[in-house]
Amino acid sequence: MKVAILASGNGTNFEVLARHFKDGDLPGELVLLFCNHPDAPVMERAKRLRIPAVSFTVKSCGGKEEYEQRLLAVLQEYRVDFIALAGYLRVIGPTILDHYAHRIINLHPAWLPEYPGLHSIERAFNDQRAQTGVTVHYIDSGLDSGPIIAQEHVPILPTDTIETLAARVHETEHHLYPQALKQALKKEQN
């Protein structure tokens, strides 16, 4: 099973997953990082880890439809069977979604269905909730609405700042995502 990771930013979750693939903890082979921001730090992480990386923007393609057609061609060139989103800050459109139905998973920094979309950690913190969480789910045509694979709560402590809460959410992501991806890949192989 050939896996691609799609990311947009710093790439800490990408690096965690890449190390799990390299250590043999995850079934399959990580064959590609795709990033929609050519200057994002995740590109340097991929280079350092010797993972093939491709990057281009919607603007450079002339629009979302052309962007998704080009991305699909790249995924097919690398013979990608399964996609893991790791901080990929774009909605996946029908071009990719239809081709990879039930074979794309996403990591979301909230206890879905609460706080879908962007700024989930900040919204939970500002609402003074007792807890938030991390969710790994399959994607569908909705916003963070696909079937859930795994979730874990993260308490919001009275002493928390947005930064300390975000750090704990990211720690949770780093151990939950590899477990959930392993579960999804094993299910796909059967």
Neighbours of 48 (CB within 10 A): 10
Q: Is 164 annotated as a binding residue?
A: no
Residue given tokens 């009275």 in the structure block = 158
Provide the token pair at 166.
Answer: 């975000």
Q: Is 126 annotated as a binding residue?
A: no
Q: Is-contact 29 3, C-beta < 8 A?
A: yes
Q: Is 12 annotated as a binding residue?
A: yes
Residue 118's φ and ψ, nearest 5 degrees, are: -80, 160
Q: Is 132 annotated as a binding residue?
A: no
Provide the token pair at 43.
Answer: 């590109």
Task: Please give the positions annotated as active site.
Answer: 108
Helices 12-22 & 41-48 angle (0-180, nearest 10): 20
Query: How far does the chain reach from its first CA to its final CA, in angstroms?
Result: 11
Phi-psi region of 20 (alpha: psi -120 to 50; beta: other; left: phi over 0): alpha
Q: Is 64 annotated as a binding residue?
A: yes
Pairing, β 131-138 against β 53-55: unpaired
* Binding-site residue ranges for (6R)-10-formyltetrahydrofolate: 64, 106
* Binding-site residue ranges: 11-13, 64, 106
